[in-house]
Chain A
Amino acid sequence: TQLLEQSPQFLSIQEGENLTVYCNSSSVFSSLQWYRQEPGEGPVLLVTVVTGGEVKKLKRLTFQFGDARKDSSLHITAAQPGDTGLYLCAGAQPGGTSYGKLTFGQGTILTVHP
């Protein structure tokens, strides 16, 4: 069974601060996705990283996939209250009958105070 360990579980910061969320596994994934979820809604995809060592930027968000495709990080620069939410990482299984199946981390609840 592939597992994804996400940390920290909770993060409470002031507006303007920087933060990093980590997602680690002992298993290799074919891709790693990051989602953001608001209360009462389903997760919404932010980014997919596929290649080991890949770095993607989405405005103030920077996503990195580890060289060995076992870990990933999400870095937010100058956080804003609108960034508040549950952030989830998810790894896609490499193949077989589980092809396309996503394994999710436990999530990071981010609260950005004005």
Chain B
Amino acid sequence: GAGVSQSPSNKVTEKGKDVELRCDPISGHTALYWYRQRLGQGLEFLIYFQGNSAPDKSGLPSDRFSAERTGESVSTLTIQRTQQEDSAVYLCASSLSLGRDYEQYFGPGTRLTVT
């Protein structure tokens, strides 16, 4: 079946503009995660959803970042008034349910460049 898909694959934007990143999880997966990855580094947790509820938003870097999820389907990560330090790859993952026993399947990411 289809894996996790993300769009766009690449996004170049000017500083100060808003951007919206989209994630389509694997069908039937109730948990969805957003991570940020700077070049050649590990992943930084941003937020996760169980269904359309986000119990832990502690990883969002600032109030310019927000995320929502419609039911157990698509999620969007919105960055307002983008800054150059927002440049990174934004990765989305989904899992069948929440918890350590459920493998997270990652999408290919959206590479965001803020000029």
Interface residues in chain A, defined as those with a beta carbon under 8 Å from any beta carbon in chain B: 4, 6, 30-31, 40-45, 48, 50, 86, 88, 90, 92, 97-107, 109
Interchain CB contact under 8 A, B44 and A104: yes
Interchain CB contact under 8 A, A42 and B98: no
Interchain CB contact under 8 A, B104 and A45: yes
Interface residues in chain B, defined as those with a beta carbon under 8 Å from any beta carbon in chain A: 4, 31, 33, 35, 40-45, 48, 55-56, 58, 91, 93, 95, 98-100, 102-104, 106-109
What would 17 A/B residue contacts be, using CB atoms closer than 8 Å? A4-B42, A30-B100, A42-B107, A42-B109, A43-B43, A92-B99, A92-B100, A98-B56, A101-B45, A101-B48, A101-B56, A102-B33, A104-B35, A104-B42, A105-B42, A106-B42, A107-B41
Taking the closest CB of chain B, its distance from the CB of A69, in whole angstroms, is 11
Which chain A positions have C-beta within 8 A of B42?
Answer: 4, 6, 88, 104-107
Interchain CB contact under 8 A, B41 and A102: no
Please measure, in the bound complex, the distance between the C-alpha atom of A45 and the C-alpha atom of B104, giving whole angstroms: 8
Taking the closest CB of chain A, its distance from the CB of B75, in whole angstroms, is 15
Interchain CB contact under 8 A, B99 and A99: yes
B56: which of A48, A97, A106 is its contact (CB, 8 Å)? A97
Interchain CB contact under 8 A, A106 and B41: yes
Which chain A positions have C-beta within 8 A of B103?
Answer: 45, 48
Q: Which residue on A lies nearest to B93, using beta carbons?
A: A42
Which chain B positions have C-beta within 8 A of A50?
Answer: 100
Interchain CB contact under 8 A, B100 and A103: no
Q: Which of A31, A41, A101 has the largest count of B CB atoms less than 10 A from its CB?
A: A101
Q: Which of A30, A31, A97, A103 has the largest count of B CB atoms less than 10 A from its CB?
A: A97
Taking the closest CB of chain B, its distance from the CB of A85, in whole angstroms, is 12
Which chain B positions have C-beta within 8 A of A103?
Answer: 45
- Asked whether A100 and B107 contact (CB < 8 A) given A42-B4, A88-B42, the answer is no
Which chain A positions have C-beta within 8 A of B43?
Answer: 43, 88, 90, 102, 104
Q: Which residue on A lies nearest to B97, using beta carbons?
A: A100
Please measure, in the bound complex, the distance between the C-alpha atom of A31 and the C-alpha atom of B103, giving whole angstroms: 12
Which chain B positions have C-beta within 8 A of A42?
Answer: 4, 91, 93, 106-109
